[in-house]
Structure 1
């Protein structure tokens, strides 16, 4: 299982970004994890998948900005180690 942590900067809060990330994960399929807002205006995404191609596509779409109103100016992506998820949800 490949796991990544992403921190998105730019216009990513108050524009439906988290909802769009959750929808994107569901639309692509086999992507599990969490997404939440940070106090500094960024958004953190934990994502995992057994399918490397789907995970790469997910990351690519996040870089583009998954919602019409969002604009990702920087996306930090790193390999991560976290608990396994069986779904994809927004967290507080």
Structure 2
């Protein structure tokens, strides 16, 4: 039996736009076999939906709390959601 997949909906604020945060997120998702998407919001936050095996989602959350080297994460909101049917990880605009 395959491990259960979980999904998280995340809002990240701080210095998270213009610092490679979306590309960083996509790269981490590829490494951890995470599906979902990331996008910049007009209010300066980054919104992320991630789905995968529980242990990998937890690792991904830890990576996102650090962010890329030029980012600064000030606030991090995480909600659990019912899993959507994502086939890949993408940057949305």
Structure 2 portions without partners, runs of 5+:
none
TM-score norm. by structure 2 comes to 0.90
Partner of 2:57: 55
Larger-Rg structure: 2
Give, in angstroms, the shift of residue 72 of structure 1: 0.8
Question: Secondary structure of 1:84's partner?
Answer: coil
1:45 to 45, 48, 67: 48
Question: Secondary structure of 1:56's partner?
Answer: helix
Structure 1 portions without partners, runs of 5+:
none
Separation in 2 of the partners of 1:40 and 1:86? 28
Deviation string for 1:37-89 (max 9, x for gaps)?
0010000000001x111110000110111x11111111100012363111101
Please give the root-mean-square deviation of Cα atoms over the aligned residues, in Å.
Answer: 1.0
Deviation string for 1:8-64 (max 9, x for gaps)?
000000110001000011112x21000000010000000001x11111000011011
The runs of 4+ residues in structure 1 deviating greater than 3 Å are: none
Partner of 1:9: 13
Partner of 1:91: 92
Separation in 2 of the partners of 1:88 and 1:42? 19
